[in-house]
Structure 1
Amino acid sequence: MLKALCQSLCLSLPLAASAQAASVVFLNPGYSNETFWVDYSRFMQAAASDLGMTLRVQYSERRADLALTQAREVLQGPQRPDYLVLVNELYVAPEIIRLSRGTGVKLFLVNNGLTDSQAHSVQAQPDKYPEVLGSLVSNDEEAGYQMLKALAAQLPAAPGAVDLLVFAGVKTTPASQLRVQGMRRALAEFPQVRLRQVVYGGWSRQRAFEQAQMLLERYPDTRLVWSANDQMAFGAMQAFQALGKVPGRDVLFSAVNSSPEALRARIDGRLSVLMGGHFTLGGWAMVMLHDDARGLAVGRDGQREHSAPALQLIDSAKARRWLELLEQDGHGIDFHRFSAEGRPADFRYPFLTSPVEY
């Protein structure tokens, strides 16, 4: 009788209530105290909570060897997740894809997808590399382009040649490479801007500070500084300030990231140009995994690889608004609103077509 009652109750439960929550592990490539990657994980967790999913985050502290060790433990452990989300930082993705073969864990790449050469190699060896569920990257090339264009537009008319210094991230990160490509595309439109040197600051404030000190000895008349993230911009800024140069007046700085420090610097004018918003990619990936777990096609457009225009220019008004929203989990977003669940067949994810306004 008790068994029959239990069966009756179980059968009467809605499918969503009786189904096990989709489980996700995110291999976060950043430091566990790094503002951007901590905010990134926080946004993912807000999405997971909202969508009824479980999420576990592991930080690899910007070490490829640790990322691979963590991936191996997740994929070969006794309690494997439904999904493993990873970033192709330091080119670790192909090996993790290989490790996933036969595990039943679906892989999804965010922020840094496979390079063209990696993709060709993976596709050419299907017996070695299983197919990944998909990828979601940002508009990094366009962001690099827009950032320099907006920076150069603030120069006074006909100033003569203007020296530019560029602080890229790391050579083995696709997002960094794409931002630099975009910068070079914009450079062709401003013949008065003279690129003096591109250095790789490794996303580090201290390293960029040390590099800027040396570069200022070579190029003391530098007026423009383009940086692939906020930490390198602040490191370079420190070196210029040590020589009495005022950011926003004597030197114009640009940066990527929407950390509170960067937003405040945009408001007070120390940063003349700021791009941000790509910390949301992990949250949008959770929406797509939520849909996949319910049998809905993630590649609704017939594609596995997707790009979202997440990076957008942040003016001082938007910076003030974002500072307030950062206090709210997930920027106060209802993630169900972006899901394909209950939508018509021609529904397309809104975050893939236009920047999400907050």
Structure 2
Amino acid sequence: MLKALCQSLCLSLPLVAGAQAASVVFLNPGYSNETFWVDYSRFMQAAATDLGMQLRVQYSERRADLALTQARAVLQGAQRPDYLVLVNEQYVAPEIIRLSRDSGVKLFLVNNGLTDSQARSIKAQPDKYPEVLGSLVGNDEQAGYLMLRAMVAQLPDDAGPVDLLAFAGVKTTPASQLREQGMRRALADFPQVRLRQVVYGGWSRQRAFEQAQMLVQRYPETRLVWSANDQMAFGAMQAFEAAGRKPGREVIFSAVNSSPEALRARIDGRLSVLMGGHFTLGGWAMVMLHDDAQGLRVDRDGRREHSVPALQLIDPAKARRWLKLLELDSHGIDFQRYSAEGHPADFRYPFLTSPVDY
């Protein structure tokens, strides 16, 4: 199943009642074998299947140049989709928005929206940048904040000064920046926690491992290791284990993502704190695009930019439940019931106001 999704095949559905199914291309910024982004595409496909939409996924393999090449081909090709879903990873969104001018393709951003400076620049040049349909991002700043608070809560009351290391993702990715900002905001609440160093692991397990090998020697008293994703957490964990430090006992590790490996690590206690759920954002975006294709306003609240409280703390019980649901192609979700179709004008998308639990 995952291998088939990784090949970025166009997954077509039968036409419904003689109408043309809305077509979507998703420019996935991750690697085609990267657990988080493959699961992300799976959830989008589950939504597409349930809603009677066509979805094609193209992986950019974490290369901004490839993402731009793919976007150009989609927007200037003969067979253009109705919608292009993209992520502002490595700040690629403004150029893709510019390329979309006069293409007839509606753009929707997920996970990483425009930065404030990008938004101001685009708004100031309406002749160059067309308006996008909208954006849907997660609660990344809050996640970074809650993660560190949950880590500190597991320290004994008499812990005294505690050393913290932080593994952020990429400097040019808004989600990474926001998670780090949240972590720093939480630091103000805990003067006993000493942030020794922030490094940028590029979301990579191997890179974080190499960085942690040096850091565990430089700061041997480290008790807290905060990571902006699961792969960096596991890379750092490997280095600490090699140095004789036991995860979950001598060192408290945190991570973001709900991959099967991360969920199992939360169950066995190697990960003391885990935040997850943002793999759902693409699926919720599909719900909104489905409604737009039906002539329903997705900016019914007067806003184009939306934030979803998708990231939530995952305890061992929830981790066990999610592991079972990840095995289902549908993830146990009836996407039709989240649509505005058939609802009054004051309907609000449920996923915008509270996290969807499984």
Same fold (TM over 0.5): yes
Q: Is the partner of 1:330 in helix, strand or coil?
A: coil
How does the TM-score come out when normalised to structure 2? 0.95
Q: CA deviation at 1:124?
A: 0.2
Mapped partners of 2:117, 2:154: distance in 1:
38
CA distance in structure 2 between the partners assigned to 1:330 and 1:305 by the alignment: 27
Q: Which residue of 1 aligns with 2:289?
A: 289
Is the contact made by 2:265 and 2:271 (CA closer than 8 Å) also made in structure 1?
A: yes
In structure 2, C-alpha distance between the alignment counterparts of 1:105 and 1:159, rounded to whole Å:
56
1:108 matched residue in structure 2:
108
- Number of the residue aligned with 2:248: 248
Q: 1:67 corresponds to which residue?
A: 67
Shift of 1:158: 2.3
Letter in 1 for 2:133: L
Q: What is residue 303 of structure 2 aligned with on the other side?
A: 303
Mapped partners of 1:189, 1:158: distance in 2: 17
Helix, strand or coil for the counterpart of 2:295? coil
- How many angstroms does 1:217 deviate by? 1.5
- Equivalent in the alignment of 1:324: 324
CA deviations over 1:36-91 (Å, ceiling 9, x no partner): 00000000000001000000000000000000000000000000000000000000
RMSD between aligned residues: 0.8
User: Which residue is 1:76 aligned to?
Assistant: 76
CA–CA distance in structure 2, aligned partners of residues 18 and 154 of structure 1: 58
Report Cα offsets for 1:5-41 as digits up to 9, x if no partner: xxxxxxxxxx951210000000000000000000000
Q: Deviations over 1:158-192 (max 9, x none)?
A: 21110000000000000000000000111110111
Q: Deviations over 1:192-215 (max 9, x none)?
A: 110000000000000000000111
Tell me the residue number matched to 2:216.
216
Partner of 1:179: 179
Counterpart of 2:194 in structure 1 is: 194
| Code of the aligned partner of 1:285 | A
The Cα offsets for residues 251-307 of structure 1, whole Å up to 9 and x where unpaired, read as 000000000000000000000000000000000000000000000000110000000
State the SS of the aligned residue for 1:18: coil
| Correspondence for 1:169 | 169
**Corresponding position of 1:9:** none
**How far is 1:330 from its partner?**
2.9
TM-score by length of 1: 0.95
Conserved 8 A contact 2:216-2:243: no
Letter in 2 for 1:178: L
Q: Deviations over 1:218-247 (max 9, x none)?
A: 101100000000000000000000011110
Q: Hey, what's the Cα distance between the residues in 2 that align with 1:17 and 1:287?
A: 19
**SS of match in other structure, 1:125:** coil
Residues 89-111 of structure 1 show CA distances to partners (whole Å, capped at 9, x for unaligned) of 00000000000000000000000
Instruction: Give me the whole-angstrom Cα distance separating, in 1, the residues matched to 2:309 and 2:329.
Output: 22
SS at match of 1:331: coil
Give the helix-richer structure, 1 or 2. 1
Aligned to 2:48: 48
Match for 1:200: what amino acid?
Y
Structure 1: which 5+ residue stretches go unaligned? 1-14
* Larger CA Rg, structure 1 vs 2: 1
After superposition, what is the alpha-carbon deviation per residue over 1:287-343, rounded to whole angstroms, capped at 9, x for unaligned? 000000000000110000000000000000000000000011131111001000000
Structure 2 spans left out of the alignment, 5+ residues = 1-14
1:20 — aligned with what? 20
Equivalent AA in structure 2 for residue 142 of structure 1: Q
Q: Quick one: distance in 1 between partners of 2:31 and 2:130?
A: 29
**What letter matches 1:129 in structure 2?**
Y
Residue 146 of structure 1 deviates from its aligned partner by 0.3
- SS of 1:223's partner is strand
Letter in 2 for 1:349: Y
**Partner secondary structure for residue 130 of structure 2:** coil
Between the aligned partners of 2:214 and 2:247, the Cα distance in structure 1 is: 18
| Moved segments of 4+, more than 3 Å | none
Q: Which amino acid aligns with 1:78?
A: A
Aligned-partner Cα distance in 1 for 2:17–2:303: 31
The residue correspondences of 1:148-159 to structure 2 (distance < 5 A) are 148-159=148-159
* Aligned partners of 2:16 and 2:52 also within 8 Å: no
2:353 aligned with 1:353:
yes
Partner of 1:142: 142
Find the aligned partners of 1:33 and 1:201 in 2 and give their Cα distance: 18
- For 1:270, what is the secondary structure of its paired residue? coil
Q: Distance in 1 between matches of 2:151 and 2:79?
A: 49
Partner of 1:320: helix, strand, or coil? helix
Q: Could you tell me how far apart the structure 2 residues matched to 1:340 and 1:159 are? A: 51
> SS where residue 275 of structure 2 aligns?
strand
Structure 1 counterpart SS, 2:123: helix
The Cα of 1:216 is off from its aligned counterpart by 1.2
Comparing 325-334 with 261-270, which one deviates more in the overlay? Answer: 325-334
Aligned-partner residue type, residue 134 of structure 1: G
Q: In the aligned structure 2, how far is the partner of 1:157 from the partner of 1:332?
A: 41
Query: SS where residue 17 of structure 2 aligns?
Result: helix
